[in-house]
Structure 1
Amino acid sequence: MPEVTNELMFELLKRVHHEIGELRQDVTKRELSVMRGHVVATQSDIYGILARQDDRFERIERRLDPRELAEAQRPYEPK
């Protein structure tokens, strides 16, 4: 069994420190990727909701046809 010296312990600690640093960067990249995926999913949900609301609004407008009911209005004149 090799003799345990301060130099050996220092080299082992440097190696462990380096590996932990790489692991931390890897985890951070994965977390960012997951968060990016959630943001994209949320955006697509919002765009889908807005598209449905726009379609509903257009159907309501077609059904009511507000242009036929519009009355001529005088321009605003402050007193």
Structure 2
Amino acid sequence: MTDLVLEHLRGIRSSLDGLHQKVDGLTERMGNVEQSIAHLYANGAEQSVRIDRLSNRVERIERRLELAG
């Protein structure tokens, strides 16, 4: 009887070890996803700033052309 219980406990421990490894892998992957998302947001903000600058430059050019024309 004791041997049967020990055998089941070893099986449970083995299953838990496998789950622990999977969770560790998923945690690492989730961290990578979070970093990628943060990088995308940073790139989007940078592009927005660049677009705003270009828009301002175009507006200045348009005003100059209207004054010259």
TM-score normalized by structure 1?
Answer: 0.67
Aligned length: 62
Partner residue, 2:3: none
Percent identity over the alignment?
A: 5
The 2-side partners of 1:7 and 1:32 are apart by: 37
2: distance between equivalents of 1:14 and 1:64?
74
- In structure 1, runs of 5+ residues without a counterpart are 66-79
| 1:48-63 to 2 correspondences below 5 Å | 48-63=50-65
Q: Which runs of 4+ in 1 moved over 6 A?
A: none
Partner of 1:32: 34
Q: Which has the higher helix share?
A: 2
Alignment of 1:1-79 (within 5 A): 5-65=7-67
What TM-score do you get using the length of structure 2 for normalisation? 0.75
- Long gaps (5+) in structure 2: 1-5
Q: CA RMSD in A?
A: 1.7
Rounded Cα–Cα distance in structure 2 between residues aligned with 1:49 and 1:7: 62
